[in-house]
Amino acid sequence: MHDFQRRFIDFMLEAGVLTFGDFTTKSGRKTPYFVNTGLYRSGSQMAILGRAYADAIDASFPQGFDVLFGPAYKGIPLVVAVATAFAERGRDVEFCFNRKEAKDHGEGGVIVGRKLRDGDRVLIVEDVTTAGTSIRETVPVLRAAAGISLAGLIVSVNRMERGTTDRTALAELADEFAMPTRSIVDLDEILEHLGDRLGSDDRMRITAYREQYGAATS
């Protein structure tokens, strides 16, 4: 595990984004832990978050990319934070995001920011992907804008549970769209880093949850 991953796990805990208890996911699953990226709420937190994504992108996408894309709505602040983090390192990265509804005046269209061009390699920046629904909605929007190729998808946490099959949503999306999919951290890395800081009850409930919903393969 990289140092930036350890720092990111501690950061999620300190920000209250990663919590343990009794929760219900959007899909209706009862889960013993929850990752709520909507709780990031300050400029300093977004700066740290953007750097963590940038670290993971540098480590996971050596093939590079031309433009970052953030799916509305949570992906919008994320993609801005990541581009800013790269700028701090002396690399000027362009980004864009989509509107939920097409604009019929002004510049029009659904893409805001960098105009996509044929041949662009687009890296999608998302928060957490459980079933992959938002990405399946996003890819047609990108392909309708230009003849782009998908450089990949980066999310903050891989919950390592089944998507629509017995594989993780990230693995399904990788095959479906022929693109690499990565996360800053996954559940195994979270559990490894927390060690004894995670109570035995929480750990047992996570084990039981994974037996019920865990993916057969990554």
- The residues that bridge with 97 in the sheet, in sequence order, are 70, 112
Residue 74 annotated to the active site: no
What phi and psi values does residue 54 have, to the nearest 5 degrees? -60, -40
Rounded to a whole number of angstroms, the distance between the first and last alpha carbons of the chain is 17
Whether 111 contacts 138, CB under 8 Å? no
Q: Which of the residues 30, 100, 105, 193 is marked catalytic?
A: 105
Q: Taking CA 173 as the corner, what is the angle to CA 65 and CA 62, rounded to the nearest 5 degrees?
A: 25
Is the CA virtual torsion 114, 98, 180, 174 positive or negative?
negative
- The residues that bridge with 157 in the sheet, in sequence order, are 128, 185
- Read off the amino acid at residue 54: A
Whether 150 contacts 177, CB under 8 Å? yes
Q: Which of the residues 26, 30, 100, 103 is marked catalytic?
A: 103
Tokens of 16: 């209250």
Sort residue 16 into left (φ over 0), alpha (ψ -120 to 50) or beta. left
Tokens of 194: 């927390």
Residue 2 annotated to the active site: no
DSSP 116: P
Annotated catalytic residues are: 103, 105
